[in-house]
Each structure stands twice: as C-alpha cells, then as structure tokens.
Structure 1
Amino acid sequence: MSIDRPSKIQATIDLDADGKRFGALVVPHSRNDSAWGSIRIPIAVIRNGDGPCALLVAGNHGDEYEGQIALRDLARTLDPVEVSGTVIVLPGLNYPAVRSATRCSPIDGGNMNRSFPGRPDGTITQMIAHYVATVLVPRADLVLDLHSGGKTLDFVPFAATHRLPDKALEARAIAAVEAFGAPVGVVMLELDAEGMLDTWVEGLGKLFVTTELAGGGSSTVRSNRVAATGVRNVLKHMGILRGEPEIAEPSRMVDMPDERCFVAAERNGIHEPLAELGDEVAEGQPVARIHSMDEPSHEPAVYVARRSGVLIGRHFPGLVQAGDFLASVAVDL
C-alpha cells in the first residue's frame, strides 16, 4: 500500500493557526473493550506568523523520559509572543508505549523508530508513523527527536546527527548539534537505519538532530537540565526563539566512523562494566566482563574496546544475553 494515501488519523486542533493550542491526534483503534475506540496522542502547536517550523518529538520509545519531561514543560511555558514561526510538540509519540513504560508498543509490538514511513492502513504503530511522515514532517524545517537509553542502555548525554551524502546538509546538522549544547556531540553510526525517523527526515533533505540523554529507564537532574536547555538552544539556533544558545561549555565533538565503535556480547550472563561512561579507553582495553550464571568456577568472558576513544554508551541491566550491545566508543573529530 502506497504511503501517499491519506492518513486515517485526525488532529483535534488546527495545525496552521496562530496562537497556542493543545489537542490530540486521534488514531482509530477498534478493540475488544471499545468497538469504536481510539487512541489520543497529545500534541501542542505554538505558532506566531511566518518563519521556520520545528517538529519536536519525544516518547518515540516509551521508556525514555528526558525528552518527554522537557517537551511537556516547553509546551506549557512557551508563549506565542516569544516565537517567530511554528513549534509542533509531540511529547509522547508512541503513546501506547509511553503509557506502558515500554520501548515498543504493547498493542502491536511495533518499534516506532523502525516503522517509518509507516502505512495508512497498517498497525497502530505504522499508522502513527505514516501521519508523522506525511503530515507533520513536510511542515518542518527541523526535526528534533529526543531519545535516551531507556531501560537497557546508558549514555553520556549527547546530541547527534549522521554522516550524509549532502555535505551542506551534514554541516548544518553538525552546527545544530553544537548549538544543542550537550556535553558531547556525536556524528553517529547507525547499525540499522532502516525505518528510522532519522532516515526518513534526512532523505527528504531536512535538518535532523537526535539525542541520547542518560538512560536506565529514568532521568536525572543533570540529564533533564541538558534536555530542557538543549531544546531551547536549538529553537534559538533556528531563529524561532530570540537570543543566542546558552552553552556553558562547547560540546566535545566525536565521530563513530565504523562498526569497531561497538562491542557486543557473545554469551549470556551477569554483566560487569569495567569502564565508566566518559572514560578514555585504549584499543584492546577491557570494558566489560560477563560472568557465568550457572558455573561459578568458569572464568568470566572479557570484552575489550575495538578502538581507542571515549566510552559514550554501555549496557545498563545486570543481566546480558548473547547479541546484546555492551559498549560504544567514539573518537574525537
């Protein structure tokens, strides 16, 4: 089915009128307990005349919280008179996953960030992705998609973009990452970019910035501060808000040039980190051990960094399965 067919989702507010409006995206969802039911995804639009449009997204994965907190605060407090242009706020995009505190939707198992550009006649997750891809993204000059590690990962708080064939767009995206003002800025390698919001937006030639802001299925004072400041900084960078970005210290800009930046587990067991986030590590340096759960007499398996650089991400839970991500290392630009 072509994505060009119109969406079944309806917005309860005018997306193009001036002022501030709170409403919902109404997704049809007929089910056992509600034959003519629907899912109502919160949306806010703050608009003041002509100017750039920023689409701000959080809750793409339901167990990632810094973005959800920052965007709810922004939507409540941002006065239209401060704005030149339009700010569209989706503080809980995958709303079923947000409600259940899970990465993926409990309704259809859909991973929102592997579902773009979606389908107008697909699952709930695909329908939401299709609406964003075909109705909201075309309005936007910038898409800021706020992620963190969820329940399974932890990161040095960073903003990120990607290597792009269009080097002018890549340079603009790196400048927006620097304007966000996170402790680290990453030119990120995606091991699987198919179906991501990132890939869809960048493929349309639009500016895209994402983040990974701590993790563990919660948030911290520091990570929430980075998110809140970064969102406003990007809006200032785009000229939607007045003033200059508030950057206490320039981001450390790093690159992820190839798959050697990643370390993955090859067995099940108990995870023991051997390096702290933000540590400098050398190629061949141990970064994690995995202990056998069943055989205490067995020596733990040692996993080493595959290149020298800074440790920016790691596995979070105490248990690990074969194939799980263990650590990521980035190198200075």
Structure 2
Amino acid sequence: MKPSPISATVDFDAPGVSHGFLRLPYSRDDAAWGSVMIPLTVVKNGTGPTALLTGANHGDEYEGPIALFDLAAKVRAEDVSGRLIILPAMNYPAFLAGTRTSPIDKGNLNRSFPGRPDGTVTEKIADYFQRVLLPMADVVLDFHSGGKTLDFLPYCAAHVLPDKVQETRAFDLVRAFGAPWSCRMLEIDAVGMYDTAAEEMGKVFVTTELGGGGTATARTTEIAKQGLRNLLIAAGVLKGEVAPRATRWLDMPDADCFTFAEDGGLIAFWADLGDRVEAGQPVAQIYPTGRTGIAPLSVTAGRSGLLVARHFPGLVKPGDCVAVVAVEV
C-alpha cells in the first residue's frame, strides 16, 4: 500500500512535551501548495502504556476538544508514565466549520475507516490513524457528544466484545471515568467506525456521549475534564489518584432501544432526558408542517427504560433517530 501523505512535525518517541501538527497536503483554489494542519501534542516520559486521546471526530461536538486542548496546555512530562498522544480535533476541517462532516469532501470520519492514503482528505486522515496512530496505542479514548442533532444524558461507554479480557479492561476504564451514567453500548451503524478499527486491533477503546445541541455546558465540560484525568490515572499513564465519582449503569441490549421518525415535521416530546418510558408509550408527536388542521403523528418507545437521547433541534426528517431508550442496570 502507498505511504500516507500525512507527516507529523513532532517525534512520537522524543522525551518531554512536544506540540506540533499532522500536516496533510491539500491543494486548493486559495493555496496551491496548501495543507491541513491538525494540532497535535505528544507527551513521553519513561516506560508505560500509550494513550491515544481524540476529540472532534465529528466537528460539532465540543466537550472533548475543550478537555483535550486544556490537557495539552497544562500537562507536564513528569506527570506521565508512558506516552500521551493528544489530538483535540481529529477531523480538523469539520471542527473549524462546526459541522459533523468535513466541508472539504462531506466525509464522516467516523464512517471512513480504514481509509485510503490516496483517497479524499477524510479518507487520508482515517488511513493515518489506522496505520500509524492506532498501532502505537494501548488505550484509546474518543470523546463524543450529540452535536447539533442529538442531546444525551452524559455517559461514558464501551462495547460488548467477543474478547472478554479486552471488554473487561474497557469497562474498568468506563467505571474509572466516572460520568453520571455509564453504558454498555450497542452501535446501530458500526461499519467504518474508528471504534471498530481500534477494537479489531485489540485496543482498549472507551468513548462518551456528553450532551449535545451543538454546544458544551459548564457541567458537561467538567465531566469531560475530570473523567479524562480519572481514566488516564486508572490506565497507568498519568500519576495521581482516581477521584471517586458515583455512576449509574445503562445497557442498550438491542435495536428496540432506537426509535426513528417515519414522517417529517415539528417534533414535540412528551418525555425529557432521564424520564422513564414504557414500551409502546408515545414519547413524542410529529406535527406535519405543510398545512394546519392535520393531527400529529405519535412516536412510540420500542422498549421500557430511561430516555437517554433525543433529537435536537425541533424539526425532523423521515429516518431521523428521534429517541433512544436504555435499560438501567
């Protein structure tokens, strides 16, 4: 396979704290020999595991970038045992545009793995992570939240895996992260995901959903910062003591957890995040917007449990995920 066109301006094996970029050549109308410059920090001290830390896999999700830019500005090499590789905005073009997908090629980075070194900009970024960064890592933390179209109860999550040793290590780190909620997560669209690429390599992979609506609150930002610190200490990469935090566990056991709109229109929810709903119970109504005088259509829960995610903002299209219900364990 062709080598990656991306080059790092830092040495991943150099001791100390190094700030730089992943430079991806990108010729365009306003810069014939231009580049996409993805900010990067590497911290190395002695021997120990490597943690690969990423945010803005989708560009309109902000808790991760805040926590990781903050860590990159404050971390000292003497606080680390091993190595941190910090990329606060892995899909940097999307991050700058405040969009889920890249404005350059409309690529969804979290559906582009394993990528291609001779593909689109998004595929080239995925390829570099697949072939260069993920092989270096022992632990991967990829921050997510709901972006502009979903809102979540703030949770940290890992997946049920065939390798139970790998699964147990991931859920141990979820517990250490200490979000208000912790989740055994079912993916409804796992093809091409960063998660899948990491897990198939045997990496311990942890992710989050920390809010949404295209913004970050003071509460969700604090959850991200403290959870990041706790996870790194529990993983043996950061020195210190894990700060105990209470968490409640959720499970998403099957596809009945997810409810999709069959019609478009104005959505009005009958339940808020954290409310208990019953299978078959209406959780929202969708009002057709083409004319007045038409009765709204009910959207019902597929299973009983807690409403852990809802569509955001108020207009939906057919096929949109409008509600997610999880079972409290």
Which of residues 270, 273, 278 is equivalent to 2:269? 273
Please state if 1:92 is matched with 2:84.
no
- Cα root mean square deviation, aligned: 0.9
Match of 1:37 among 34, 37, 40: 34
Identical-pair percentage: 55
- Gaps of at least 5 residues in structure 2 are none
Cα distance in 2 between the residues matched to 1:248 and 1:111: 33
Identify the residue that residue 151 of structure 1 maps to in structure 2: 148
Per-residue deviation at 1:243?
2.7
Deviation at 1:242, TM superposition (A): 2.1
**Alpha-carbon deviations, 1:60-113, whole Å to 9, x = none?**
111000000000000101111111010100001111101110000000010000
Query: Please, which of 179, 183, 196 is the counterpart of residue 182 of structure 1?
Result: 179
In the alignment, what sits opposite 2:157? 160
Show CA shifts across 1:239-271 (max 9, x none).
11123321331x211111110000100101001
Note if contact 2:179-2:245 (Cα within 8 Å) is conserved in structure 1.
Answer: no
Code of the residue aligned with 1:294 in structure 2: it is G
What is the distance in 2 between the residues matched to 1:246 and 1:125?
A: 37
CA distance in 2, matches of 1:6, 1:244: 41
Decide which of 256, 272, 278 is 1:282's aligned counterpart.
Answer: 278
In structure 2, what is the Cα distance between the partners aligned to 1:150 and 1:246? 28
- Aligned-partner Cα distance in 2 for 1:27–1:217: 27
Among residues 97, 105, 108, which one is paired with 2:105 in the alignment?
108
**Aligned match of 1:329:** 325
Q: Kindly state the Cα deviation for residue 332 of structure 1 after the two structures are TM-superposed.
A: 2.4
Q: CA deviation at 1:329?
A: 0.6
Residue 5 of structure 1: CA displacement? 3.2
Aligned equivalent of 1:238, options 235, 240, 243 = 235
Q: Quick one: distance in 1 between partners of 2:36 and 2:300? A: 45
- Moved >6 Å (runs of 4+): none
What letter corresponds to residue 289 of structure 1 in structure 2? Q
Aligned length: 329
Cα distance between partner residues in 1 of 2:241 and 2:298: 46
Give the equivalent residue in structure 2 for 1:263.
259
The residue type equivalent to 1:282 in the other structure is E
Give the structure-2-normalised TM-score.
0.98
Report Cα offsets for 1:196-217 as digits up to 9, x if no partner.
0000000011100000110000
Q: For residue 9 of structure 2, what is the aligned residue in structure 1?
A: 12
What is the aligned counterpart of 2:129 among 132, 136, 148? 132
Alignment partner for residue 64 of structure 1, among 48, 61, 65? 61
Q: Distance in 1 between matches of 2:84 and 2:166?
A: 21
Counterpart Cα distance in 2 of 1:294 and 1:137? 49
1:252 aligns with 2:224: no
Which stretch has the larger CA shift, 202-211 or 26-35? 26-35
Instruction: Please state if 1:194 is matched with 2:187.
Output: no
The Cα of 1:30 is off from its aligned counterpart by 1.0
TM-score between both structures, scaled by the size of structure 1: 0.97
